[in-house]
């Protein structure tokens, strides 16, 4: 949920909204003036996921989020959350303004699903993504001043086309990087396909110093651009005092090329941040587990049957010894009732 705070959404699309959910949306429109009817849409079928725009936030009502997870993944939708989460964070999500364009991103030879996901991520973060599937198209976009290139060196969409080759693309990217040092290149490699040793002998190391799998690329670029937006917002609040994402001594306006020029360092920063968050969560879990263990031990001691039985017997023994002590004493013989013979004789004082 936290990574969604960096996006600037233009439309809010509600999926499977019931009558009660529509009433909640109407109430939210009264509370938040930015949630206007023009920015509110309702859909009911999974087939409509393909019509979602990059700057749309899908809000799943009821239990539809888990049911539509696979369809969302196939449609390349990565910005979705439940209605309860939207109600909780509506104020912060609606407070964001439309972000300005930070530059052009070229997505070269990416498979369809990854291309949809990457275009949605870069569009939401204020970049202008352009997809190309030829060396001529890549060269044309580079001449137009593209700042970031994402290149899938497996080129899965061009299987069977002999006119394009990785060596040709690598030569083009290497020449452009020498001419424009601020050009950032991300190389994607599906490690389940092809030969990793063969890929290491290519000119990829002359273009970029890191290879990322598709899943690593999506996670890395989402986290990195989120940090970039945070640094950019800090720079706007403190002119010139923001810390760069990849250069700790950088004090100017943050640029995505700073960290992406050294993909290995940027990826390492992202991994270190994720590890520190994991380590903190693990330490917190250990503390809570230890506390839970102590409380469970006390609970088990309080409700232990053997201890309860011993305490019950001990309590009974105390009651018997304190409140009923006569049952342990030797009974005394009862005195016989007085008879007439035993009674003293009555004397007549008149004749004495």
- In the chain, what percentage of residues exceed pLDDT 90? 9
Q: What is the mean pLDDT of the chain?
A: 75
Residues 41-85 have pLDDT tens digits of 999 888 888 888 877 889 999 888 888 888 887 777 878 888 998
Integer angstrom CA distances of residue 135 from 51, 90, 155, 243: 29, 44, 12, 36
Same fold across 2-96 and 104-261: yes
Please check whether residue 129 is in contact with residue 119, taking contact to mean a CB–CB distance below 8 angstroms: yes
The CATH code that applies to domain 104-261 is: 3.40.50.2300
Q: What is the mean pLDDT of residues 165-175?
A: 86
Q: Which residue has the higher pLDDT, 154 or 252?
A: 154
Look at residue 249 and tell me whether its pLDDT is greater than 60: no
Structure tokens at 344: 């003293």
Q: What is the mean pLDDT of residues 143-154?
A: 85
Instruction: Please tell me the class of the 2-96 domain.
Output: alpha beta
> In the structure, what pLDDT confidence band is assigned to residue 243 with cuts at 50, 70 and 90?
very low
Highest average pLDDT, of 150-154, 264-268, 303-307, 345-349, comes from: 150-154
Domain residue spans of the chain:
2-96, 104-261, 275-326
Residues 91-102 have pLDDT tens digits of 877 776 555 567
Integer angstrom CA distances of residue 127 from 99, 154, 183, 186, 187: 9, 25, 15, 15, 19
Q: Cα separation of 117 and 75, whole Å? A: 8
Q: Cα separation of 188 and 35, whole Å? A: 38
pTM, two decimal places: 0.55
């Amino acid at each position: 949920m936290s990574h969604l705070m960096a996006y600037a959404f233009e439309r809010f699309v509600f999926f499977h909204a019931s009558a009660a959910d529509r009433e909640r949306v109407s109430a939210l429109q009264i509370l938040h003036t930015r949630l206007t009817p023009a920015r509110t849409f309702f859909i009911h079928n999974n087939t409509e996921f393909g019509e979602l725009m990059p700057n749309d936030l899908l809000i799943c009502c009821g239990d539809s989020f888990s049911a539509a997870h696979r369809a969302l993944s196939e449609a390349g939708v990565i910005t979705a959350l439940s209605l309860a989460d939207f109600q909780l964070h509506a104020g912060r999500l609606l407070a964001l303004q439309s972000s300005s364009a930070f530059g052009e991103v070229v997505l070269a030879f990416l498979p369809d699903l990854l291309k949809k996901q990457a275009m949605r991520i870069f569009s939401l973060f204020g970049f202008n993504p352009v997809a190309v599937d030829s060396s001529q198209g890549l060269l044309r976009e580079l001449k137009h001043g593209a700042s970031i290139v994402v290149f899938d060196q497996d080129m899965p969409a061009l299987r069977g086309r002999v006119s394009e080759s990785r060596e040709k693309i690598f030569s083009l990217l290497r020449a452009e990087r020498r001419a424009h040092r601020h050009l950032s290149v991300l190389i994607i490699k599906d490690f389940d396909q092809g030969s990793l040793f063969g890929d290491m002998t290519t000119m990829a190391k002359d273009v970029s110093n890191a290879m990322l799998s598709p899943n690593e690329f999506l996670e890395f670029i989402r986290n990195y651009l989120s940090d970039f937006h945070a640094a950019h917002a800090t720079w706007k609040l403190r002119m010139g005092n923001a810390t760069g994402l990849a250069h700790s001594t950088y004090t100017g306006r943050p640029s995505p090329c700073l960290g992406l020029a050294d993909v290995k360092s940027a990826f390492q920063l992202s991994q270190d941040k994720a590890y520190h968050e994991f380590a903190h969560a693990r330490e917190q879990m250990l503390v809570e587990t230890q506390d839970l263990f102590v409380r469970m031990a006390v609970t088990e001691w309080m409700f232990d049957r053997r201890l309860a039985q011993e305490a019950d017997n001990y309590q009974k023994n105390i009651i018997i010894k304190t409140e009923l002590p006569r049952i342990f004493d030797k009974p005394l013989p009862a005195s016989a009732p007085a008879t007439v013979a035993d009674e003293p004789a009555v004397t007549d004082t008149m004749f004495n």
